[in-house]
Amino acid sequence: MSSRSSLILLLILLPLWLAASYGVRFALMEDGQWVGLCVDQAQRWECQVRAGLGLLIHFRIIAWISLGAALAAFFVPGRTGWGLALLALLFALPALVLYTASLAVFASVIAGLRLVRQPQSQTEPVAVNA
């Protein structure tokens, strides 16, 4: 897959991932019906997912993962760095939506910068005689 088509695919999938993150936020985390239901029936799998996601949000685990992956991606060359930046962005978008924007905004900027960085050429620098 060429870099242009992978960039187009990325620009299509990221808004869908963002919309899915907002869906989780408003349908599962902020919907009032889950509060009452999970108080009565805490063993339901939906309530377990909601509680686990609440812990991930409280301890900022999603945001720290995205920030760590973005920092690693910025220094790792080649396709591996690009993949790490994509992973960081996939974690940063839900972190932005799910109440941990203070860390995730830095991760998304760093990952975005790494994703659009031009690959370095393999030519040797020319020496300038003074």
Helices (H) and strands (E) in the chain, counts: 6, 0
Cα 5 to Cα 12: distance, rounded to the nearest angstrom: 11
Q: What is the pTM of this model?
A: 0.82
What's the pLDDT score for residue 128? Answer: 67
The residue-averaged pLDDT of 8-17 equals 91
DSSP string, 4-18: HHHHHHHHHHHHHHH
20: helix, strand or coil = helix
Cα 98 to Cα 59: distance, rounded to the nearest angstrom: 12
pLDDT tens digits along 27-64:
988 888 888 888 888 899 989 999 999 999 999 999 99
Whole-Å CA distances, 38 to 28, 46, 50: 11, 8, 9
Torsion angles phi and psi, residue 66, rounded to 5: -65, -40
CA-derived radius of gyration, the chain:
19
pLDDT tens digits along 96-116:
999 888 999 999 999 999 988
